Chain A
Amino acid sequence: MIRTKLSEAFISLAQSNINYSLGLNTQLTKETLCQRTGELCVMRAYFERQQYLIDYALAALLRRKARNLGLLLVYTLLVFLFASVLLLSQGLRREAAILLQDAPEMIVQRLVAGRHDVLPAVELETLRRIRGVGEVRGRLWGYYYDPVTKANYTVMAAPERNLSNDRMLIGIALSRVRQVGVGDVLSLRAADGTPALFRIAGVLESTSELLSADLVLVSAAAFRTLFQMPPDQYTDATLTVRNPREASLIAQKISLALPASRPLLRTEILRTYHAVFDWREGITFLCLAPLLLAFLVLAWDKAAGLSPEEKREIGILKAIGWETGDILRMKLWESALLSLTAFLIGYLLAWWQVFYAGGRLFTPVLKGWSVLYPDFRLTPAVGLAQILVLLAVTTLPYMVATLIPGWRAAITDPDAAMRG
């Protein structure tokens, strides 16, 4: 059995070698011809030589299927993990940027002892008087803890929806968790302990789930009744700025006019989102670093532990005229082919996992968590910089880690190698 295997290996080896030698001969003939026909010939001969080396490397990889398949699996898993982190955080960053496009340019909150407090309606007038400020609107919103689902809902007054005082609109996640739909009645407990009954007038559509998952929209009067908020108070205020380039200047003016307030700029919020996602992504990468190290040790070990059969193979190749450089190049092609396959499979799997399977793997780490977390799909996108980072983190170290064992194999003397 072993003998048959060995002879098969040698037949394939001999065939590849004939091809390769043919390649070398062709190159020699072509180099002579090139003196007459010029530059393109040398290039073609060079590519043909690489093609024969690739052929040989591929045959060599296939001859040791079991070993290489194991390595390929681990390598693919590694690329998959790193690529998942990168694709997921890039998707989340994009999503945050798209959502914030429609957010108000500035939010003004009132602070008492460093904590967020309600904003008196009279301060809206002060804001309107600042030059450069466009429209100012007081917002009513808050959190409602529901002991039934053990989750917080975001309750918001939506005057533009013209809801009557006993009607509400709810988010899709809330409708799912409480198992209620249009026409059902939902009871909330008001701040004074009395039950407040609302009939559900509609469920917010799922396209805006990131915003509306846990959202409850009611009328302003119903909101004030529910939270016992006096009519001359708002949660905070949103304002538009006539010239967006002056936003930071207007924020300074607001801080002077209302010293106990905190203006929040949309650009600042976006900057914070970027910083948070970058940081989480970086930390997850660092957590995966030991895995990378372990993989590199494995790859080194696999590449260094040549079987007697492989040693014999290299010995024969050198005896029939292969140079050290050729063997080294062949070994490099082996690593490159394995890397390319693992990279492609790993990246595609990560792509599928993040964009089509909900990205469950790193979601809690990168997105955060909540009882009523929105279920949304990210928009697929490829970034060249991402691929460069991935190549630098996975493929480059692997190629270098297998290079030294490959070189050790390549410099072995043919007679020593063939004797084993």
Chain B
Amino acid sequence: MLITPAIIALHLITAGVTGTVVLAGGFAVQILRSWDIHSGSELQIRLERQTYLISTLLGFALCAELLSLVLFVHTAENLSSQFVGAMCATGVLNVNAFGFPSLLLKIAVFFLAALWLLLNGVDQRGYDYPLVRLKYWLLLAIAPLTVAEAMAQTVYFLRLEPEVITSCCGSLFGGQQGVAAELASLPAKPTIILFYTMGGAMLVLGWAFRRGLALGLLFAAGNVLLFGVALAAIIGFLSLYVYENPHHHCPFCLLKAGYDYLGYALYLALFAAVASGLGAGLLAPFRHIPSLQAVIPVTIQRLTWTTLSGLGLFYALATWLILRSNLVLLG
């Protein structure tokens, strides 16, 4: 087991987040059972009061989750010098079977948490808390994921033995089998065309969605699809342009100081865009609720704007990386 300040901080954050979410989960059960906005009972008043605490606590916990995602990837990247065979975060996450599950769980919790915060923000602006049940059901779905994430991360760090010889990104993304190898072997030209077509489609869809909110679910699905296409594009061709090497497909080496920490800018723009796009799309079906009729359209406009700006930044950055590269992949 390794003991570094970043690992201690990650344990602290995860323990705090899990504790808060589990506590809030207990409260969610109580809300789902007894919430009645029309009642003036003592229990209802107590529940209403507790919602303030729970939503503020969860706001903190979920911001901490974002911090933990960035810190986790950075820590894995930083530890790569201590493992034989590891050249970046990929190798360190591969040291045992719990590295990648921890990362994927963190990403899942991040998106669900962002969705929860958006739901909560909208719900609190409706005088009758119309989404209260939905948001606490969602919370009950997040709670087991945070527990699983905390367990996976703890086991991952406990089993992090520097003696283990791990495999570098070259063998994961350059192998013959597995999702990573499949993504790396995508042909460049069709992937580039798909990447830019998807960007164009999202721009049109975003513009249409701002005018007609009925397209909400389609916009949310488009964001999920775009997230997948963007990750495939990073592994398939964008990384090649950055490293100027036709065989280096690693999406983690982008986070290295040697590449000016470009990965952080790319991923933060993408994650922010997709999280707000997902939120905007999923909020749209609730626009007919009377107490939210004024709130939801304004929120959706704002979120769609964030999505399009984030995607604009991501695509601009990606295009700049391709144009400045000396690698000739097409032609």
Contact = CB atoms under 8 A, between A and B. Distances in A.
Interface of A: 34, 39, 42-43, 82, 85-86, 270-271, 274-275, 278-279, 281-283, 285-286, 289, 324-325, 328, 332, 385, 388-389, 391-393, 396-397, 399-400, 403-404, 407, 410-411
A39 B305 contact: yes
A282 B3 contact: yes
B33 interface: no
B60 A400 contact: yes
Given A85-B5, A270-B81, A385-B6, A393 B302 contact: no
Nearest to B61: A400
Nearest to A392: B9
B53 A389 contact: no
15 contacts: A43-B302, A82-B5, A275-B82, A279-B4, A385-B74, A389-B6, A389-B9, A391-B67, A392-B12, A392-B71, A393-B5, A396-B12, A396-B60, A396-B64, A397-B12
B298 interface: yes
Nearest to B83: A271
Nearest to B75: A385
A228 to B, nearest CB: 40
A86 B5 CA distance: 8
B328 to A, nearest CB: 25
A279 B6 CA distance: 11
A271 B81 contact: yes
Given A286-B8, A325-B124, A389-B71, A396 B52 contact: no
Interface string B1-19: 0111111111011001000
A275 B162 contact: yes
Contacts of B71: 385, 388-389, 392
A388 B74 CA distance: 10
B120 to A, nearest CB: 12
A418 B80 CA distance: 59
A393 B8 contact: yes
A134 to B, nearest CB: 24
Contacts of B9: 388-389, 392-393
B326 interface: no
B12 A282 contact: no
A278 B52 contact: no
Given A392-B12, A397-B16, A282 B52 contact: no
A324 B45 CA distance: 12
Report, nearest first, the 7 A-B pairs whose CB atoms are least far apart. Answer: A282-B3, A392-B9, A407-B53, A411-B49, A278-B4, A389-B9, A282-B4
Given A388-B70, A396-B13, A271 B52 contact: no
Interface residues of B, number: 35
A184 to B, nearest CB: 44
B82 A271 contact: yes
A328 B302 contact: no
Contacts of A274: 81-82
Contacts of B20: 400
A403 B56 contact: yes
B167 interface: no
Contacts of A403: 53, 56-57, 60
Contacts of A400: 16, 20, 57, 60
A289 B124 CA distance: 37
Contacts of A286: 3, 8
Given A282-B3, A282-B7, A286-B3, A393 B52 contact: no
A391 B9 CA distance: 9
A303 to B, nearest CB: 14
Nearest to B264: A384
Contacts of B5: 82, 85-86, 281-282, 285, 389, 393
B301 interface: yes
Contacts of B67: 388, 391-392, 396
B78 interface: yes
B52 A407 contact: yes
Contacts of B16: 396-397, 400
A410 B9 CA distance: 30
Interface in B1-50: 2-10, 12-13, 16, 20, 49
Contacts of A285: 3, 5, 8
Nearest to A386: B5
A388 B69 CA distance: 11
Contacts of B53: 328, 403-404, 407
A392 B5 CA distance: 10
Contacts of A86: 5
Most interface-central of B6, B12, B57, B75 (chain A CB within 10 A): B6
Contact of A282 (B8, B13, B60, B78): B8
B13 A278 contact: no
Given A282-B2, A396-B13, 9 more contacts: A39-B298, A43-B302, A82-B5, A274-B82, A282-B3, A282-B4, A324-B49, A325-B52, A385-B6
Interface in B69-90: 70-71, 74-75, 78, 81-82
Contacts of B7: 282
A411 B49 CA distance: 6
Contacts of A278: 2-4, 82
A391 B82 CA distance: 25
